[in-house]
Amino acid sequence: MINPLAASDAASQDTTSTPVNKDPLANKEVFLSLLVAQIKNQDPMNPTDSVQFLTQLSQFTQTEQTLGIREDLKQITAAIEALSAPASAA
């Protein structure tokens, strides 16, 4: 006979870690995939709470905007470094 408590104890003691993807675009795609899967697989007789859904949607929008700001800052940093490089070389 299998002891369910022993199985859960063994699972909780698993020390292997899954690799974390540092690519923000990949994380964005994962988040969007999970959100779409949640919508597709929800129970039609008991749909997701509208407040919870809007919260998730706003988190996705905020993530998109943050990634846009990050890219803009990278471009600004590169432009500043390009402008200051000739001045420091002289």
36-81 confidence digits (pLDDT tens): 888 888 888 887 778 888 888 888 888 889 988 999 999 999 999 9
User: Does the residue 15 lie in any domain?
Assistant: no
Residue 52 inside a domain? The answer is: yes
Kindly state whether residue 61 falls inside one of the protein's structural domains.
Answer: yes
Is 0.75 topped by the overall pTM? no
59 contacts 52 by C-beta, under 8 angstroms: no
Whether residue 60 lies inside any domain: the answer is yes
- 35 belongs to a structural domain: no
Number of domains in the chain: 1
CB-based burial label for 84 (10 Å; 0-12, 13-18, 19+): exposed
> Containing domain of residue 73, as a range?
47-90
**pLDDT at res. 87:** 61
Please report whether residue 62 resides in a domain.
Answer: yes
- Which residue bears the tokens 């369910």? 4
